[in-house]
Amino acid sequence: MSVFLSSLGFGLISAAVLAIATVGFTMQFAVTNVLNLAYGSVMINSAFVTYYLNYHAHLNAWVAMIGGVFTGAVASYLLNRFVFTPFQRRNLPPITIVIVALGVDLVGTFGLQAIIGGSYFSYKQSLGREVHFWGMYFSTLQLIIIGICIVVLGLIHWLLKYTRLGKAMRATSANATLARNSGVRTQRVISSTWLISGALCGLAGTVFAMNTGVFDATSAQLYIVLMLAAMFLGGPGSAYGAMIGAVTIGVATELSAGYFNPQYKEVIAFIVLLGMLTFRPFGLFGSEKTI
């Protein structure tokens, strides 16, 4: 029982970080049909900007985070504007875009490593006091991260369901041509999508680094796999699917770690992903791509 609860606790933290990341990732896929495997490298670059502001500009980590979020947004926007969009204009097969994304990932990750070196970094930030309830253990920091996650997901829900832009995003993702016939400037919608998802990416990168306590240029390289698992579980392109998928994967990995063996905790995520790809490539709920 205590194993279950404590693992559940850790699961919730991983899930919180993963959810923020995956929602951004899946929105990019939904609106522009780009499987942006370079997402992890943008995350880690943002995390480093936060570190820089926190460590060298002596800003409070939470303040510095704004810089990280900003970086993620701008970087993602530029990425789409100057790499993915031009390639898509040549209407190449999706696989080419994936290969390009992998190339971008290498440039992003190791470009950063070339600049900051291979050493690892921690934010100047206290974990706050240990909180212990219902057999779960959290540091205040982690509770804040979970809080941020809930707020952010709430905002995304509000954006998609109740704002003009959000509806335009969903419309564009469903049928871009018809959206244009209805007067929607889809190019702007796409740009804002990448700005917003990029902001999520930057945020995810920072909280990822905060949660692990220490990170380096390559820390997020394999994180994309967890995101893929979460996305395909909830249905590619579905923001809500991504939220559910992320929570499931986050909790499942930590539970398997608690009960089975932490060394193999990612394995369950891999199995889920391969299983989904094989049997339900459009997710448990989704039948087609819908935000």
Partner 1 sequence: MNAILFYVATVIVYGAVDSMACLALNVQFGFAGLSNFGFIIFQAGGAYVAAILSMGPWQKSNGGFQQYVLGWHLVWPLPWIGAAIFGGLLALPFVFLVGKRLRGDFAAVGLLVSAVLLNQLVNNFVPLFNGAAGISIVPAPFSGKWNPQGLGYQFAYGGVAVVLAVLVYFLLRRVTESPYGRSLRAMRDNDVVADALGKNVRVQRTSMLILGGMIAGLSGAVLVGFINLWAPGAWGYAETIVLFAAIIVGGAGNHKGAVLGALLVPLGFEEVTRFIPPLSNPALVPALEWVAIGLLIIGFLWFRPDGILPERRRILSRSATSAVPVLSSGESDSLINLGNLDQMDFRQLLRLEGDANDHGIILASDRLTRAFHGVTVVSEVSIEIQRGRITGLIGPNGAGKSTTLAMLAGTLAPTSGKVLYEGRDITSMPSNERAKAGMIRTFQLASEFKKLTVLENLVSAIPRQSGDSFPGALRGRRYWGREDVENIERASEMLEGFGLSQYADSYAGGLSGGQRRLVEIMRALLAQPTILLLDEPMAGVHPNLAHKIGDQLMRLAASGMTIVMVEHELAIMDAFCDPVIVLAEGRVLAQGTMAELRAKKEVVEAYLVG
Partner 2 sequence: MRFSKMVRRGRLVDNSRKRLVLVASALALVASMVTLPVAEGISGATSFKGSITIASVAPFTGADAALGPKYATACYAAAQAINAAGGVLSKQVKCKTVDTRGDPADAVPAVRQMYATTSNLALVIGCTSDEAATVVPIFGAHKTVSFCMTGQSEFDAVHYPFFFRLVPPDAADSVAMVQIAKRHNYKNIALAFGNDAGSQTFVAPALAAIKSAKMTVVSNQTLDMSASTFQTEAQAIVQAHPDAILMEALGAAGVALLSEIYQLNGNKMIPTIGTSAMIDPVFFSGVTSGPVGVQNFISAFDADNQTVNASGPAYPLYKKLVLAQAGKVPGVPSFPGLLSANGTVHLYDGINMAALAMVMAHSTQGAKYKADILKIAEGVRGAVNVSSYAAGLKDLKAGKKIHYVGVGGSYLFDSYQTAFGPFEDDQFLANGTTVAVGGSLGYCGLTGCKAKL
Partner 3 sequence: MSVELTKQGLVLSASGLSAGYDGRAIVSDIVIEATPGKVVSVVGPNGSGKSTLLKSLVGVVKVLDGHVTVGEHEITNLAPEEVAMIGVGYVPQIDDVFPPLSVKENLEIGGYLLGRREIPGRIDMVLDFFPKLKTMMTRKAGKLSGGERKMLAMGRVLMLSPSVLVLDEPTANLAPMVATQLLEEFVRGFADHGSTVLLVEQRAKAALRISDWTYVLGGGRVVLAGAPRDLEQNPLFVESFLGGSSTARTASNE
Chain residues binding partner 2 by CB under 8 A are 2, 6-7, 10, 13-14, 110, 113-120, 122, 125-127, 129-130, 137, 139, 208, 211-219, 221-223, 254, 257-258, 262-263, 265-266
Rounded distance between C-alpha atoms, residue 237 and residue 35, angstroms: 10
Q: Smaller CB distance to partner 2: residue 147 or 262?
A: 262
**Cβ pair 149, 12 in contact under 8 A:** no
Taking CB under 8 A as the rule, which mask of x and - marks residues 32-71 in contact with partner 1?
A: ---x-x----------------------------------
88 C-beta neighbours (distance < 10 Å), count? 17
Give which of partner 1, partner 2, partner 3, none residue 39 binds (C-beta under 5 to 8 Å, depending on kind).
none
Q: How far is the CB of 150 from partner 3 (least distance, A)?
A: 25
**Cβ pair 76, 140 in contact under 8 A:** no
Q: Could you tell me the CA-to-CA distances from 49 to 17, 120, 216, 226 in Å, in that order? A: 18, 14, 12, 23
Q: How many residues does the chain have?
A: 291
Give which of partner 1, partner 3, partner 2, none residue 248 binds (C-beta under 5 to 8 Å, depending on kind).
none
Q: Smaller CB distance to partner 3: residue 124 or 188?
A: 188
- Please report whether residue 291 would count as binding partner 3 according to CB under 8 A: yes
Residue whose C-alpha is closest to residue 254's, from 20, 9, 22, 2? 9
Q: Where does this chain touch partner 3 (CB under 8 A) — which range of 21-29, 116-124, 172-180, 241-249?
A: 172-180
Q: Where does this chain touch partner 3 (CB under 8 A) — which range of 160-168, 227-235, 244-252, 274-282?
A: 160-168
Q: Smaller CB distance to partner 2: residue 70 or 137?
A: 137
Name 288's Cβ contacts closer than 8 Å, sequence gap at least 6: 282
Rounded distance between C-alpha atoms, residue 176 and residue 192, angstroms: 15
Interacting residue with partner 3 among 22, 186, 197, 253 (CB under 8 A): 186
Interacting residue with partner 3 among 184, 190, 227, 233 (CB under 8 A): 184
**Cβ pair 135, 6 in contact under 8 A:** yes
Give the helix/strand (H/E) hosting 222. Answer: none
Rounded distance between C-alpha atoms, residue 285 and residue 291, angstroms: 12
Chain contacts with partner 3 (rule: CB under 8 A): 164, 167-168, 170-171, 174-175, 177-186, 290-291
